[in-house]
Amino acid sequence: MKRYPHPIIAREGWPYLAVMAGSSALVTWGVGWTFAAPFWILSLFVLQFFRDPARDVPDEPHAVLSPADGRIVAVEKVNDPYLNREAVKVSVFMNVFNVHSNRSPVDGEVRGIWYFPGKFVNADLDKASLENERNALWIRTADGIDITCVQVAGLIARRILCYVKEGARLQRGERYGFIRFGSRVDVYLPPDARIKVGIGDKVHATESILAELK
């Protein structure tokens, strides 16, 4: 039940908040609250977007945890294009009001990382998985089970951030990256994984269980 410590506001958002708060204060000082109100509202939006709360990790060793906050938009049997294997893909779509910090779904070693430049179509669409800018992480558990976790840019997302390198060891719920603005995360699981979510379900990073591994 480890709670990974995080700042209340993600470090990725500090420059944006500084600019917005400074601009809002200057407009307030120069022309008053009436004209400054839209600037403060935008500052509050940036503040909520970059929030990064700590999360409790479920005490279930075979669970695959959600790597992101959002809504399930795909649960389907596919070919994992990164490991060239049969898999079940579970996709989490993040809108601009979700927390955008990405967490590891399992305990394991990072065996490979692949970055692909691409388009910026709506991340809610299935074709975004293979057409949009994306960063794939191959994680192998201690039991030798392979999980592929893919950060996918969205319609207005323009920056995928991944802070781990090949050979790193991740623990479930550990923060490893961030995607700015609307986007999605695809998780490719073994075909025999027991899926615990359905399309339309709302999930929270680390706290929600996507599947159980056999």
pLDDT of residue 199: 95
* Active site annotation includes 183: yes
pLDDT of residue 130: 67
- Per-residue pLDDT of 43-92, as tens digits, reads 787 777 777 888 889 988 899 999 999 999 999 999 999 999 999 999 99
Statement: residue 8 has pLDDT above 60: yes
Host H or E run for residue 89 = strand 85-94
Statement: residue 164 has pLDDT above 80: yes
Is the CA virtual torsion 142, 143, 146, 147 positive or negative?
A: negative
Statement: residue 213 has pLDDT above 90: yes
pLDDT of residue 131: 67
pLDDT of residue 89: 97
Identity of the highest mean pLDDT range in 35-49, 105-119, 183-197: 183-197
The active-site residue, picked from 24, 91, 183, 208, is 183
pLDDT of residue 157: 53
Question: ∠97-40-16 over CA atoms, to 5°?
Answer: 65
- Tell me, what DSSP letter sits at residue 144? S
Statement: residue 2 has pLDDT above 50: no
CA dist list (Å): 112 to 27, 115, 190: 48, 10, 17
Across the chain, what does the average pLDDT equal? 85
- Per-residue pLDDT of 97-130, as tens digits, reads 888 889 999 999 999 999 988 665 555 556 656 6
* Under 8 Å between Cβ of 211 and 191: no
Between β-strands 209-212 and 63-65, what pairing exists: parallel, antiparallel or unpaired? antiparallel
- In 3D, which of 89, 183, 98, 178 has the Cα closest to residue 133? 183
Instruction: Report the percentage of the chain scoring pLDDT > 90.
Output: 50
Is the CA virtual torsion 67, 71, 72, 73 positive or negative?
A: negative
